[in-house]
Amino acid sequence: MERKRIPVVERILSANDRLAANNRERLQRHGITTINIMSSPGAGKTTLLLATIRALGETCKIGVIEGDVASQVDADKIAQAGVPVVQINTGGGCHLDATMVQQALEALPLDEIQLLFIENVGNLICPAGFDLGQDYNVALLSVPEGHDKPYKYPSMFEFVDVVLVTKTDLMPYMDFELAEFRRLVQGLNPRAPVIPLSARTGEGMEAWLEWLKTAVKGK
């Protein structure tokens, strides 16, 4: 007797993944490169964005989506820099999702944006699991957090396209071992470059801006 064939669906897109695919298609239609920025609270995401906006100036039209559990202090800072920004408050949620980003896109002038940064909720765990429609994922790890973090939060470092070590101006006061940090990241994710920088002093910003330009072109 011939066995009946059972249909196997290899991957059923979850509701979030479907919405993320919609966001991605919409962003691509507008020719926008989208970058999801993730880190612990206080690792310097907003400060990096402000330094990046200043450095790129008129050469690239930037937009920003700010994600936070509560408040709009970060969006206020970005707005002062003169770029379009939308604040998402998750109201307790520990990461952004594709629905939230979809709503934020409604409020942005997409035809006037070439490079969209999504600053995720400060959290080194949950944001790594949720597609938003971005092209690239960036993790920041600040020097004061310590070089051992890839041991403890491997999913984040496995997931991203580039790792930025921020606040390198604090290196003289900390026991941060950069070579050991590179070794740990490369063990989890050999394709992600590690770029040390200080948005405060400007050290290393050139390498980050170079990575950004390649990302925008490479799309």
Q: Which residues bind its own copies (CB under 8 A)?
A: 40-42, 68-71, 73-74, 92, 94, 121-126, 142, 144-146, 148-149, 151-155, 167, 169-170, 173
Nearer to its own copies, 61 or 182 (CB): 182
Q: How far is the CB of 184 from its own copies (least distance, A)?
A: 10
Distance from C-alpha of 87 to C-alpha of 173, rounded to nearest angstrom: 34
Q: How far is the CB of 100 from its own copies (least distance, A)?
A: 15
Nearer to its own copies, 57 or 91 (CB): 91
Phi, psi dihedral angles at 89 (to 5 degrees):
-105, 120
Tokens of 61: 């039209």
Query: Of 57, 7, 12, 36, nearest to 130 (Cα)?
Result: 36
Nearer to its own copies, 54 or 152 (CB): 152
Q: How far is the CB of 129 from its own copies (least distance, A)?
A: 8
Q: How far is the CB of 178 from its own copies (least distance, A)?
A: 15
Nearer to its own copies, 53 or 121 (CB): 121
Nearer to its own copies, 23 or 137 (CB): 137
Q: How far is the CB of 198 from its own copies (least distance, A)?
A: 11
Q: How far is the CB of 152 from its own copies (least distance, A)?
A: 5
Nearer to its own copies, 154 or 193 (CB): 154
